[in-house]
Amino acid sequence: MNRDSGQFRGKRPTGGGRGRVRNALYLPMLTVIRCNPVIRRFYQRLVDQGKAKMTALVAPMRKLLTILNTMIKNTQLWNPKMA
């Protein structure tokens, strides 16, 4: 969400979207980043590119939701190649 005004160009906070889903996934995502090598590499790549840690945390949340939705749709188990 941009909150720019005049010549002020500040950091853009992560605040759009479904707040309840984001709040529900925050702590589990910290565990996923620590324990899942696929998601950890994705998170670390974003941090290494200079993304803010919160931004780098929300991106894997979205990726994980997409993976889980696909798993449910296709009645599949976790497949690291799918990520």
Q: What is the pLDDT of residues 38-83, one digit of tens each?
A: 899 999 999 999 988 888 998 898 888 888 898 999 999 887 776 6
- Position 15 confidence tier, pLDDT thresholds 50, 70, 90: low
Threshold 0.85, pTM exceeds: no
Other beta carbons less than 10 A from residue 36's beta carbon: 18
| CA angle, residues 79, 80, 82, in degrees to nearest 5 | 70
Dist CA 53 CA 45 (whole Å): 11
- 45-75 burial: b if 16+ Cβ within 10 Å, else e: ebeeeeeeeeebbbbbbeebeebeeeeeeee
